[in-house]
Chain A
Amino acid sequence: MGSVGKDIAHDSAVGHVSGESIYIDDMAFAKNELIVDFYASPVANGKIVSIDLTRASNVPGIVGLYTHKDIEGHNKFGPIIADEYLLAEEKVEFIGQPIVVIAGETRKAVLAARKVIDVKIDVLEPTLTIDQSIARKQYLAEPRFIKRGDVDAGFAEADHILEGRFISGGQDHFYLEGQAAIVYPGEYDNLVVHSSTQHPSEVQEVIAHVLGLQQNQVVCITKRMGGGFGGKECQATHPACMASLVAHKTKRPARIVYNKDDDMSFTGGRHPFQNDYKVGFTKDGVITALKTDLYTNGGAANDLSTAVLGRAMTHADNAYFIANAHINGYACKTNLPPNTAFRGFGGPQGVVNIENIMEEIALFLGKDPFDVRSANCYGIEERNTTPYGQIVYNNLLPALLKKVAETSDYKNRLEAVKKFNQTSKTHLKGISITPVKFGISFTTKFLNQANAMVLIYKDGTVLVSTGATEMGQGANTKIRQLVADEFAIDPNMVIMAPTATDKNNNTSATAASAATDLNGSAAVDACVKIRQRLAECAANYLSSDGAGISPSPSHIVFADGNVFDKRRPDKKLTFAEIVSAAYHERINLGERGFYATPGIDFNWKTGVGQPFLYYTQGAACSEVLIDRFTGELKVVRADLWMDIGKSINPGIDRGQITGAYIQGMGWVTTEELRRSEDGVLLSHSPTTYKIPNVQDMPRVFNVDLFDNDKNDVNIKGSKAVGEPPFLLAISVWTAVKQAIASVSKEAAQKLKLPATNEEIIMCMATSKKSALASAKQTKA
């Protein structure tokens, strides 16, 4: 019996529950270690007039103060477009942009120096919103388009046309462990960097680039992160570079750890979007044409904005066939910290746009939004091609919609909700079902590769390292299971080594939900090669001593920790025994594995391609209860269904689903990044930025995995799970919209995302009278 498919504990669980797991700032201080921090721009837009470090350098305990002039390599870099500066040169473009790196003997000294660094800046008017960026024609890149069919003909054919604007807000990752790195200098300018990053290779590459070193001089190691969610894909690079600069200059170990307030204020998060749409539809609610312009607030540098925008565009259809579609994407340059990857990577922002449109159509036609969604859903044999030309194979969306409607008792509860809203004077309810179809693969083709190293030691234990980093999501546990099964051994015999660039080179970020898909496949590739060699060795060994059979590797079976020849199952070797035998026969017990996702590509010039290996799908039903007077909102029940193929570890996958849904619920309800007119983030700690807490969990929370054994394109028939369930929480927002619509259509149309209590009350305020009137009318 293998371990794949079983709910096996997370490989760090014992360390986590006993406080023994080690994160960056838990590492013991080395002798001579320096504390690193930085002086950040206090203004969103301005020209640097002067930098005076005299007072700061006189602070006792200060060892070094560095500006862009101290950078020996390149100050400019970026994951897609090289438009970011490690340290500001002539101008500052966002609050939190590093200007001076500070190194000191103690944290106290560093904080004292930070206070007396004197940077004079000519303050310029900042661009903070998408509207301002459009007015000033400030974009990060050329616009992108996906076009299919003839939208004009589609509009002509429509019975009705609606136009509107939909606005969704940003979100802070709120990983619990802040950005952190420790750098140890070595001989010949080499550096060993411990970084809390999802992308060790990028950290390595950018450090080498900034310091003018060769990439082989820098090793980046990531044991684990205290949460990532996309926030440590690109933005872990800056702290690691700053600590590296100090270590390189001083030849002393250097540690940087952002506190929560700085982390939230100075690093980017989920991209806010502002979308205009024009949709044509039949009297039955079937969309005939959609033209939508997606504008995203990318912040001061591109970071991953164009890729995020791309994913928003390829998810602008979500689960719906749109024959005539014209999807335009614009990445706006503003003076916010560069926004970056965040679970879903633009997908949620694209999907919520079409889900809002579904609500608008239903409101307009007076139909149940569920029926409108079902009418537009991708078909199995026809109406199954996306606007960018990929066919939705193994389409389970109609089945998932049906399933969730059944198990949530949607129709009956919808009636109950309507009745409740007619009678309650104090509260409102809303119930909504939304589906999700999420494309798996990096939309940038070359990122879809991974390598792994598998080492077997003489005692039969296995050490595996891959490019996958562990941020809690359980990639290491799943890969451990995959490797254990290849050798038919107990997963406890397999240890996942920290991710390190000297073991696995040129790795892709642990992102796009694909870490297990890519790195697990690479690890299995390595295992298969070693197993073949072991089988040959075993074939010789088991056929010796008058066994009466000739050596035949194809008859060798690995099962339950043993190795035997099918023809002589009584004669067994333990895995450790065959490994020991192989060692003495001088057989290579280590291997590198490699995997590149086959058959995918995308062309942004034409907006056509096959960007995804497959789609992870799901559907959710959420019911909300809202206080009419205070706007307080509670998700009272959620029913989630996910198709994640054949799960490698249902316990871990379930945790991804519940975690993603609650995180998504935060995005659509209480998590609000509030800024001053100057762009200062006001909600920069958990006192003012409210992620869901345990009391916000739905009291009824049903999570089910949909049976699907047909995803044969991916490792063991599994599907990626990290991001897709985040989008299930869009059903919370649409439920709020419906609740508000029950008292005022006009108020519902105004609703933005997040639907905070204030947003709900302010939307309803203008239509307060009609709200009370409708309640009265129905009673009479």
Chain B
Amino acid sequence: MLLGCWQRYHIYAFARWLNFKPMRDYIVLYINGKECRVAGADAFLPLSSYLRYVQSATGTKVVCEEGDCGACTVLSGAVSGDEIAYRPINACIQNVYQLDLRHVITIEGLKVDGELNCVQKSMVQNQGAQCGFCTPGIVVAMCSLFDKKCESKTPATEEEIRDALTGNLCRCTGYEPIIRAGLETNTEEAIALRALYPSRQIIESIGKHKGDAPLVQYEERIFFGPQSISEAVEFKAKHAGTTIIQGGTDVCVQMNKRGFDPKVIMSLNNVSGLNELNVEDGILRVGGRATLAQLEEKVTQLIPEFADILWVFGSPQIKNAGTLAGNIVNASPIADTIPFLYVMDAEFELTGSKGVRKVKADSFYKGYKKLDLQSDEIVTQVNIPLPKKSSTLKLYKVSKRKNLDISTFTAAVVMERENDQIRSARIAYGGVAEVVLRLPKTEEFLAGKKFTEETFVAAGKIARGEIRPISDVRGEADFRLILAETILEKFFHECNEEQAAWAR
């Protein structure tokens, strides 16, 4: 009780400090076209629980509660100009407060005039559902694909369908009937989601709440949704223990599974800007809340090797929520982007109350989950120098399953060479120590050596000595040592072999 009073005072004081900027003590989201104002305990629920147990919308299923199965897939629509852009996300690892001012479409909201839509019809006709438990998630993910097809009316390719469904596990069908359902979906009938839910009305309605930042409290928890970086930094400075939940793709898993229970939470979802990506002077600048999906789209042409890693990195649902900054700050030694950022000599812009500070990727990590990041600082931009035309960049992610799996081992190699002479190499390994490692001895050894198999075999032996892997559920230490040693041979052979063995 005492704590409650204190908190309330605190919020009041905070509001005053922000010059009485108007605040909302509730979250506003739209579900299948209807406005929902959510305050108190419900605002802190995972969206899937809110849908199932508060709204009795039980079509959204929950299986893994960690974003790895896709049964809970819903579409999240964010205002983008005068339209709403819908993207599939995992409702089990999105808390309600993350969806402030979003329009959520669930499986219950996908029929057209009470009739099955073109995807649903095709799923029925092609026996795309067996037990049916994954089916709502599959249908939602597939509808997102066909939403993009509603103008061109072109049929979906097998590759597009697979890529749309990477985040949806099915244990019954072997996927083949589902793919067939996608291939046979009648795109002539494809209806745009913005026709199903006229954007203008929702945007107008959202507009009424846009000016107010949500500050929601329940028991000892506070959620704040700032509208600018300065507000965010000020809030973070005031509350040293603030947890930023952006995509939430890792934090929410920890909340669901490992009892992590942050008390002061902030999301940057409503901060204007911060989600841009652009290239200036040979440097790719990635905004702090740009999603991995945006990044993948951007680098497909620019850095195809990085795009390939992002392709296997996660599902569309994860990439639509997760951000590059989140991957960086989450600081996992097996984070898939970090080895790349190391070898490209990327730089992080950290904005705090004293202004902007820049840190190099490979000096940002001080130990297991220990960062060179002050309590008031936020990663607001990531600057990645583009690879030179003359250099060879290769990225590796070794995991039990190719797609949507957490890495056992990761590696990034960028090399400059003249004919058969290596000029320089930068190498980073992940999954081999408590942080991602650069391999200075191996790099030093390679500089000036002949570009031969023997060189890389010898380099592998040095690399093996520079790491200290452990055994865990994803692999034995010995396996990681072998990978660390031989991945450089793989690099050598791949430079020589034209063959693209891994077709998507």
Interface bits B112-139 vs A (CB < 8 Å: 1, else 0): 0000100110011111111111111001
Q: Are B494 and A695 in contact (CB under 8 A)?
A: no
Nearest Cβ in chain A — how far from B135, in angstroms?
4
For B108, the chain A residues whose CB sits under 8 A away are 18-19
Q: Are A261 and B174 in contact (CB under 8 A)?
A: no
Nearest Cβ in chain A — how far from B126, in angstroms?
8
Residues in A lying within 8 Å of B, measured CB to CB: 7, 9-10, 12-23, 25-26, 28, 173-178, 224-229, 259-261, 424-427, 471-474, 625, 627-632, 634, 651-652, 654-655, 657-663, 670, 672, 674, 682-683, 685-688, 690-697, 699, 701, 703, 756-758, 761-762, 765, 768
Known: A473-B130, A693-B403. 13 other contacts (CB 8 A): A14-B116, A17-B129, A19-B107, A19-B135, A28-B56, A427-B499, A625-B502, A628-B490, A651-B126, A661-B174, A687-B64, A692-B401, A758-B476
Q: Total A-B residue pairs with C-beta atoms closer than 8 Å?
A: 259
B65 within 8 A of A: yes
For B402, the chain A residues whose CB sits under 8 A away are 632, 634, 695-696
Kindly state the separation between the CA atoms of A25 and B71 in the bound complex, as whole angstroms: 14
Q: Are B58 and A22 in contact (CB under 8 A)?
A: yes
For A175, the chain B residues whose CB sits under 8 A away are 131, 133, 171
Interface bits B155-166 vs A (CB < 8 Å: 1, else 0): 000000010011
Partner of B474, one of A14, A654, A688, A761: A688
Residues in B lying within 8 Å of A, measured CB to CB: 52, 56, 58-61, 63-66, 68-69, 71, 106-108, 110-111, 116, 119-120, 123-136, 139, 162, 165-166, 168-179, 253, 257, 396, 398-406, 408, 472-476, 478-479, 482-483, 486-487, 489-490, 493-494, 496-497, 499, 501-504
Q: Are B166 and A757 in contact (CB under 8 A)?
A: no
Q: Are A226 and B132 in contact (CB under 8 A)?
A: yes
For B59, the chain A residues whose CB sits under 8 A away are 18-20
Nearest Cβ in chain A — how far from B374, in angstroms?
31
Q: Are B171 and A691 in contact (CB under 8 A)?
A: yes
Partner of B58, one of A17, A26, A259: A26
| Among A13, A229, A662, residue most surrounded by chain B Cβ atoms (within 10 Å) | A13
For B126, the chain A residues whose CB sits under 8 A away are 651
Nearest residue, chain B, Cβ from A19 = B59
For A756, the chain B residues whose CB sits under 8 A away are 400
Nearest Cβ in chain B — how far from A255, in angstroms?
12
Nearest residue, chain B, Cβ from A762 = B479
For A662, the chain B residues whose CB sits under 8 A away are 173-176
Q: Are A686 and B69 in contact (CB under 8 A)?
A: yes
Nearest residue, chain B, Cβ from A12 = B132
Nearest Cβ in chain B — how far from A403, in angstroms?
20
Q: List 13 A-B contacts (CB under 8 A).
A: A23-B61, A178-B63, A227-B131, A424-B499, A625-B502, A630-B487, A672-B400, A682-B473, A691-B171, A695-B166, A697-B179, A699-B503, A758-B476
Partner of A655, one of B130, B472, B486: B130
Q: Are A694 and B69 in contact (CB under 8 A)?
A: no
Partner of A694, one of B128, B179, B476: B179
For B486, the chain A residues whose CB sits under 8 A away are 629, 768
Q: Are B120 and A18 in contact (CB under 8 A)?
A: yes
Partner of B106, one of A19, A424, A629: A19
For B398, the chain A residues whose CB sits under 8 A away are 630-632, 757
Given contacts A21-B132, A474-B130, contact A9 B125 (CB under 8 A): yes
Kindly state the separation between the CA atoms of A28 and B58 in the bound complex, as whole angstroms: 9
Q: Are B501 and A176 in contact (CB under 8 A)?
A: no
Nearest Cβ in chain B — how far from A52, in angstroms?
22
For A226, the chain B residues whose CB sits under 8 A away are 61, 131-133
Dominant SS at the B interface?
loop
For A630, the chain B residues whose CB sits under 8 A away are 396, 398, 483, 487, 490
Nearest Cβ in chain A — how far from B486, in angstroms?
5
Q: Are B494 and A674 in contact (CB under 8 A)?
A: no
Q: Are B473 and A17 in contact (CB under 8 A)?
A: no
For A474, the chain B residues whose CB sits under 8 A away are 127, 130
Nearest residue, chain A, Cβ from B59 = A19
Nearest Cβ in chain B — how far from A223, in angstroms?
11
Kindly state the separation between the CA atoms of A418 and B87 in the bound complex, as whole angstroms: 45
For A224, the chain B residues whose CB sits under 8 A away are 131-132
Given contacts A634-B402, A690-B401, A697-B179, contact A176 B71 (CB under 8 A): yes
Kindly state the separation between the CA atoms of A13 and B127 in the bound complex, as whole angstroms: 7
Kindly state the separation between the CA atoms of A17 and B135 in the bound complex, as whole angstroms: 6
Q: Are A259 and B65 in contact (CB under 8 A)?
A: yes
Q: Nearest 8 pairs between A and B by C-beta?
A: A19-B59, A472-B131, A226-B133, A16-B132, A662-B174, A472-B130, A19-B107, A658-B174
Q: Are B176 and A426 in contact (CB under 8 A)?
A: no
Kindly state the separation between the CA atoms of A686 and B135 in the bound complex, as whole angstroms: 17
Q: Are A634 and B502 in contact (CB under 8 A)?
A: yes
Q: Are A687 and B406 in contact (CB under 8 A)?
A: yes
Q: Are B124 and A9 in contact (CB under 8 A)?
A: yes
Nearest Cβ in chain B — how far from A658, in angstroms?
4
Nearest Cβ in chain A — how far from B454, in angstroms?
12
Given contacts A9-B127, A174-B171, A659-B130, contact A688 B473 (CB under 8 A): yes
Nearest residue, chain B, Cβ from A226 = B133
For B168, the chain A residues whose CB sits under 8 A away are 693-694
Nearest Cβ in chain B — how far from A681, in angstroms?
9
Kindly state the separation between the CA atoms of A661 and B65 in the bound complex, as whole angstroms: 27
Kindly state the separation between the CA atoms of A613 and B253 in the bound complex, as whole angstroms: 49
For B174, the chain A residues whose CB sits under 8 A away are 655, 657-663, 692, 697
Kindly state the separation between the CA atoms of A535 and B401 in the bound complex, as whole angstroms: 60
For B479, the chain A residues whose CB sits under 8 A away are 758, 761-762
Partner of B166, one of A28, A654, A694: A694
Nearest Cβ in chain A — how far from B269, in angstroms?
25
For B496, the chain A residues whose CB sits under 8 A away are 425
| Among B165, B396, B473, B483, residue most surrounded by chain A Cβ atoms (within 10 Å) | B473
Kindly state the separation between the CA atoms of A3 and B406 in the bound complex, as whole angstroms: 47
